[in-house]
Structure 1
């Protein structure tokens, strides 16, 4: 196995250096995480060797190859392979069999995701679907960012609706009137603050709001 820093905060194993895998790996490195990337395409290994912590050329569909690079020593692993469902499933199954406690895998469709779940994959990611849903919310109204949870609960970053302009949270009563919570407010040139009843909201502010997706959509577009 490539030698990792024992002081590192939970190194991550990433299998596959396509667009998803390299974006994920670069973000982890920017967060000061050590990454061991496994890729069977030699040209990609050479391309990213100097950009990531460790890059190893290996075929992760072979459990012995994964064992040789020390996959069993990782707590978290991400399968970024998406072009071949068979390869993705084999790699995820290998990581589960090696005892990796948190296996994340990219799925290209619901059937692929169902198979990954049934073989024991702990987290299934649908990047294209999730990006499409997020973009639909962002292009249709005041929302600047959107994170949805499984139970139709979401947290959004947005411009404040007109009825909040120049008023405090207590005056507007968003929880009572719209069933959403204003969590925080960021004014231009000032630090983010958690919203209190007396927090004043201005037209140029950015607010963080949580609640049911349908209530958030109405609040963003009609309040």
Structure 2
């Protein structure tokens, strides 16, 4: 169930559908609900700040719910609180600010996400030219996509001793056809190929400066 079908919510709902999930999309805007009707399993126009409405929709029967409401922070908080009270097993909520996120966490929301802030960090690392992509797994643990430097060309991961030398782990590399495969100690790196590297922020940033 995705509540709030703005840019973030609609993109999320479409991706869930693409990966084989059934999705109920909910929004207060009839126009948006009609637009998404052919793309989602079900869509409905509803005010999710009303407990009776959520009960009628049978929200407690859903495995998870995502509160993707945009600028209306009050509606976001009320909806999240009601979903938790009604026993939805996994509630995700989009936060628009640090204070908004703190309130959601205090309510007991299982997962609080900051899409704008996370995207800003991701793009900043890409713009810097040191990474091709950047994903934060936790506050101090990230995964990046970067190119194999010339100094690594033709050597195996075992020979390079990347984990002991740099404190990071290469988890996947591209092959000649550009497809990613898992990385093993015997994997040979080639300049121009790409690799996915995981680790804590500081050592990973240092590693990317040589990559």
Pairwise same-fold verdict (TM > 0.5) = yes
Gaps of 5+ in 1: 1-12
Moved over 6 A (4+): none
- TM-score relative to the length of structure 2: 0.95
1:209 maps to 2:197: yes
Q: In the alignment, is the contact (CA less than 8 A) between 2:149 and 2:192 conserved in 1?
A: no
Q: Deviations over 1:25-74 (max 9, x none)?
A: 00001001100011111111111111111001111010111111111111
| Alignment partners' CA distance in 1, 2:167 and 2:156 | 17
What residue in structure 2 maps to residue 67 of structure 1? 55
Partner of 2:67: 79
Unmatched segments (≥5 aa) in structure 2: none
Taking a change above 3 Å as real, the CA distance of residues 141 and 210 of structure 1, as seen in their structure-2 partners, is same
Aligned mates of 2:51, 2:149 — CA distance in 1: 54
State how far apart, in whole Å, the 1-side matches of 2:201 and 2:49 are: 39
- Distance in 2 (CA, whole Å) between partners of 1:78 and 1:32 is 17
Residue number in structure 2 paired with 1:170: 158
Equivalent position of 1:9 in the other structure: none
1:4-153 matched pairs, under 5 angstroms:
13-153=1-141
Secondary structure at 2:143's aligned position in 1? Answer: strand
Return the offset for 1:162. 2.6
Aligned residues: 211
1:183 aligned residue: 171
Report the TM-score, using the length of structure 1 for normalisation: 0.90
Q: Return the offset for 1:82.
A: 1.8
Whether contact under 8 Å (1:161, 1:219) holds in the other structure is no
The 3 A distance-change label for structure 1 pair 134 and 191 is: closer
For residue 185 of structure 2, give the secondary structure of its aligned residue in structure 1: coil
Q: Give me the CA root mean square deviation.
A: 1.4
Q: Do the aligned partners of 2:178 and 2:193 also contact (CA within 8 Å) in 1?
A: no
Distance in 2 between residues matched to 1:162 and 1:204, nearest whole Å: 8
